């Protein structure tokens, strides 16, 4: 809210939860979570989840009765943009949400 993202707070929370869950379920070790505001053209809130695995995330088909496999679909639908970048021996999965400019 303090960063101007109150209208997107539910989306940010759900997507961050999905990225954290993926890092903890599909990699070994801990995850580092970073939230920050990026200024410039189109102010954005950026969420990053860094882990020690170089394996890239991939979408899976959950099936009608599947209880998992929809995380990256949610990330794709709710975030304005997302991606993956190499970090040392691991990776960072990030997503961004447009938020209103502050007065």
The total number of structural domains that make up the chain: 1
pTM, full prediction: 0.84
Q: Mean per-residue pLDDT for 40-59?
A: 88
CATH of the domain at 18: 3.30.565.10
Burial 54-71 (b: 16+ CB within 10 A, else e): eeebeeeeeeeeeeeeeb
pLDDT at res. 67: 55
Contact (CB, 8 A) for 59 and 19: no
- Domain containing residue 74: 6-98
In a domain, 103, yes or no: no
**Beta strand residue intervals within 1-103, DSSP E:** 32-38, 44-51, 81-87, 90-98
**Sheet of strand 44-51: strand arrangement:** 32-38, 44-51, 90-98, 81-87
- Average pLDDT over the chain, rounded to whole? 85
């Amino acid at each position: 809210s303090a960063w101007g993202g109150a209208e997107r707070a539910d989306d940010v929370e759900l997507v961050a939860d999905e990225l954290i869950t993926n890092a903890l379920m599909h990699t070994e070790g801990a995850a580092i979570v970073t939230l920050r505001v990026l200024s410039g053209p189109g102010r954005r809130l950026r969420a990053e989840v860094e882990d020690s695995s170089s394996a890239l995330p991939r979408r899976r088909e959950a099936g009608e009765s599947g209880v998992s496999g929809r995380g990256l679909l949610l990330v794709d639908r709710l975030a304005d943009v997302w991606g993956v970048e190499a970090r040392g021996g691991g990776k960072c999965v990030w997503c961004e949400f447009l938020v209103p400019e502050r007065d």
